[in-house]
Amino acid sequence: MELRRVVITGIGTLNPLGNSVEEFWENLKNGVSGARPITRFDASRHKTQFACEVKNFDATDYMERKEARKYDLYTQFAFASTDQAVKDSGLDLEKVDHDRVGVIWGAGIGGLQTFFEEVKNFNVERPRFSPFFIPKMIANIAGGLLSIKYGFRGPNYTTVSACASASHAMIDAFNMIRLGKAEMMITGGSEAGINEPGMAGFNSMRAISTRNDDPKTASRPFDKDRDGFVMGEGSTAFVLEEYEGAIKRGAKIYAEIGGGGMSADAYHMTAPDPEGRGANLVMKWALEDAGLKPEDVDYINVHGTATPLGDIAEPKAIIKTFGEHAYNLSISSTKSMTGHLLGAAGAVEGLACILAIQNGIIPPTINHFTDDPEIDNNLDFTFNVAKKKEVNVAISNTFGFGGHNATVVFKKL
């Protein structure tokens, strides 16, 4: 069958660098760190006392106060970014065929804060849980509630693949449209893991930075002295449409989704394959799916978490995938600024790719001080300062615990 083309016509975000697309991009291109001491709870007992929190968020800007109390923060974030994206798309919701619009969302953990609060408050004096406990906590509820809010009755589910969740959601939403199973899709991801169990859990794994004396420089992808990722949170949403339909209604088009790749490391619960075999496969298959050659790619927004092992494996995979062209590519890890949004990472980093295409600017990898001799530093990591460059094709890599890999290809139209 002939596959249909899929374009992005609406974007919205709420993340540590801004509560709008415009604010996010301004801070991203200028190399601003979103890391600060944690304000949401008393972190003095924790090894890590800082994170990249969303700032100045008020859920009642997007929903009634009574409604907000029923939702975990990760769902509130999802509503905020989707509200922005739907408005940005210029859709007339009264004219949309609601049976042909769906929602596929990504979340790695779901309502962790809700789970923690309910368990913490369960005791002899209060031997019960809230009736909202389960529906507030489960990882699929944000996507379900978005479909209810807008009345979209098309395909609706949530992908849960740790840090690759939002990328898998975007690929699935893309496929729904190009296979003719939907005309439009809402997709993206949200996460809200900056809380006591989230921070303590990653501390116990020694996965996150403990650079409490200097939070803004704590996220150091590809730097010799990196000591783990910085926790982030937030949400990014997209409106995807079939190309002909978007043109017919006169929609503004940000970019085209060219293809997507999915693979598994099949190696370890939390560590990447040291040779980057799964990462090589996912990029290779994404390019094949998009009908592109390695030399067609201008920019890679890498997974680049600033973990000791991951930052060695991914460049190896890039060199294996792109050969000599690897040294002509621009590469950056925007996690150096946003922190790691876990299940929402692929969405916010996909947005960074789209904005790089739109503006001809490669956002930087900040906080680089010392080269790591185990990493090929002839690669262009766009260290510390953004640069101007025409970007026709950009790809976004996301790799999750369990060995889940997803790559999304974005193209200038």
Catalytic residue among 46, 52, 98, 163: 163
Distances (CA, A) of 40 to 49, 199, 334: 11, 12, 23
Beta bridge partners of 36: 51
Catalytic residue among 168, 340, 368, 404: 340
Q: Could you tell me the end-to-end alpha-carbon distance of the chain, in angstroms, rounded to an integer?
A: 23
Beta bridge partners of 375: none
In the block, tokens 């994206």 appear at: 85
CA dihedral (316, 320, 324, 329) in degrees, to 10, reads: -60
Cβ(7)–Cβ(177) below 8 Å? no
Measured distance CA(341)–CA(34) in Å, rounded: 12
Q: Which amino acid, one-letter code, is at 216?
A: K
Catalytic residue among 168, 303, 368, 404: 303
Measured distance CA(100)–CA(29) in Å, rounded: 37
133's tokens: 């406990």
Cβ(150)–Cβ(185) below 8 Å? no
Q: Helices 277-290 & 310-322, crossing angle to 10 degrees?
A: 40
368 flagged as catalytic? no
268 flagged as catalytic? no
- Please identify every residue annotated as catalytic: 163, 303, 340
